[in-house]
Amino acid sequence: QERTANILILIHSDNGGTYELAKELAKGIETNKNVHAVIKQVKASSNPKLKIIPVASIDELANYDGIAFGSPVYFGNISTGMSEFLAKTVNLWTNHTLEGKPATVFMSAGSGAGKELALQAFWNSLAVHGMVLVSNGIRGYENIDKTIPQGNSVLGTTSLASLKNVERPSKSERYLAELQGKNFAKTTLALKGTFDNTEKMQQTEKTVDINEALKQKNIVLPNLPKPVGNYELFSRSGNLVFINQVSLKDGKVLNPGKVGVNVTEEQAKEATKQTMLNIIAILKEAVGGDLNKVKKCVQLIGVFNTTDNYTQHALLMNAASDLTVEIFGEKGKHTRNTQGAYSLPVGSSVSIQAIFEVE
Ligand SMILES: Cc1cc2nc3c(=O)[nH]c(=O)nc-3n(C[C@H](O)[C@H](O)[C@H](O)COP(=O)(O)O)c2cc1C
């Protein structure tokens, strides 16, 4: 059977210069008929030229055989958009997910000031991930037009987008990007299968320390709320822990009221997240301070104070579900019910009942 490979071209672009280079890389990659390239971006763009590009999720990076990263040069560095995306890859990093995967980088610059620093900065982050960095060297240098400034660099192709004596990317820059794509496809195909991390990832999955992961993700659990009636914060029966909360924050209700009247959907989501944080703080207490003892989130029920005709309860509840999965990974996946209510205690816009299985 013929070997095939899938390459992600992951870009951030403001004005489309990076996207132009990405298309050339894709063309170069796909001159190898066994290698497929897909261009995605790190966040949605309102630029009409870039709107159609799908947005990549963090977790999908694991699914490709190689990744080409492209961004504008910002002050001799990678762009803020790219930097923000990379900052969310801590889980991939600690799980060794990208180790041994080939990576290559390209950038759209203005004048080109600091372009090599920026390419180097890209490499820094990808080296921390343990990726195999594929350089350009002087490939193609003999064929480029040297009568005008060009974005060639040994680390990766750039384009000098603000030098408009010719259309940018220039013909030579496009040629270099295509060549980079061709070479990257060759390396990716050759390395495929030599970096199978599934076994290692499964091992680390088991040993992921949830308490540490919370710190790394900057998730701070609130102080325990005080009961406002004759009840306990949690109740344990066998291996199940039952917890019910509203959106109390520092003794006050966060974003109280009715969704669609005096609470926006964004505020309701914020309140929902706060409620879930309260629940997880209580859960931590219930397992003696060690969240690694949580085996599964079994079920969540979210009740929202809404108008009669409101239907987007599921959307609001995602704020709680997403947080639970972010913290507990696979163990955080749960069944769920959502409902609307005419009024809720202490004016909260949301109330959540949670059931967890623990050790
Ligand atoms: C905040 C900021 C900082 C920038 N810093 C540099 C720089 O240090 N060197 C450079 O050559 N261009 C710099 N530029 C220009 C961009 O790299 C250039 O416009 C690039 O082509 C944008 O790529 P895009 O078309 O994919 O958005 C900067 C632009 C911005 C917005």
Four-CA torsion 171, 175, 177, 181, nearest 10 degrees: 150
Please identify, by atom number, the ligand 1 atom nearest to the C-alpha of residue 111. 11
Q: 108 pairs with which residues across the strands?
A: 72, 159
300 alpha carbon to ligand 1 midpoint, in Å? 46
- Give the per-residue pLDDT at 44: 92
Taking the C-alpha atoms of residue 60 and residue 263, their distance in angstroms, rounded to an integer, is 34
Q: Is 347 in the pocket of ligand 1 (CB under 6 A)?
A: no
Residue with tokens 């040069």: 73
15 alpha carbon to ligand 1 midpoint, in Å? 9
- Choose which residue among 42, 75, 77, 116 to substitute to test ligand 1 binding: the one with the highest number of ligand atoms within 8 A of its C-beta: 75
Q: Is 203 in the pocket of ligand 1 (CB under 6 A)?
A: no
Please identify, by atom number, the ligand 1 atom nearest to the C-alpha of residue 109. 17
Note if the pTM is more than 0.80.
no
Q: What is the mean pLDDT of each run of 10 residues along the chain (359 residues)?
A: 91 98 98 96 94 92 96 98 97 94 98 98 98 98 97 98 96 98 97 73 62 86 89 96 96 95 96 97 96 96 96 96 93 96 96 97
Fold of 210-358: 60s Ribosomal Protein L30; Chain: A; (3.30.1330)
- Give the per-residue pLDDT at 228: 81
- Choose which residue among 74, 119, 163 to substitute to test ligand 1 binding: the one with the highest number of ligand atoms within 8 A of its C-beta: 74
Structural domain spans, the chain: 5-203, 210-358
Assembly ipTM: 0.99
Confirm if 269 and 321 have CB atoms less than 8 A apart.
no
Q: Is 234 in the pocket of ligand 1 (CB under 6 A)?
A: no
Taking the C-alpha atoms of residue 157 and residue 82, their distance in angstroms, rounded to an integer, is 17
Q: Is 329 in the pocket of ligand 1 (CB under 6 A)?
A: no
* Contact partners, residue 160, CB within 8 Å, separation at least 6: 109, 110, 111, 112, 115, 149, 150, 151, 168, 170, 173
- Give the per-residue pLDDT at 197: 62
**Strand, helix or coil at 21?**
helix
For the chain, give me the number of helices (H) and strands (E)? 9, 14
The 3-state secondary structure of 189-243 reads HHHCCCCCCHHHHHHHHHHCCHHHHHHHCCCCCCCCCCCCCCCCCEEEECCEEEE
Q: Span 5-203: which CATH code?
A: 3.40.50.360
Eight-class DSSP state of 257: S
Q: Tell me the backbone φ, ψ of residue 153, rounded to 5 degrees.
A: -155, 150
pLDDT digits (tens, 9 = 90+) for 298-345: 999 999 999 999 999 999 999 999 999 999 989 999 999 999 999 999
What residue owns the CA closest to ligand 1's atom 4? Answer: 74
Q: Is 14 in the pocket of ligand 1 (CB under 6 A)?
A: yes
Please identify, by atom number, the ligand 1 atom nearest to the C-alpha of residue 72. 23
- Give the per-residue pLDDT at 196: 66
pLDDT digits (tens, 9 = 90+) for 104-162: 999 999 999 999 999 999 999 999 999 999 999 999 999 999 999 999 999 999 999 99
Q: Is 107 in the pocket of ligand 1 (CB under 6 A)?
A: no
- Choose which residue among 13, 47, 73 to substitute to test ligand 1 binding: the one with the highest number of ligand atoms within 8 A of its C-beta: 73
Burial bucket for residue 51 (CB in 10 Å: 0-12, 13-18, 19+): exposed
- Give the per-residue pLDDT at 158: 98
Give the up-direction half-sphere exposure of residue 123: CA atoms within 13 A in the CB hemisphere: 14
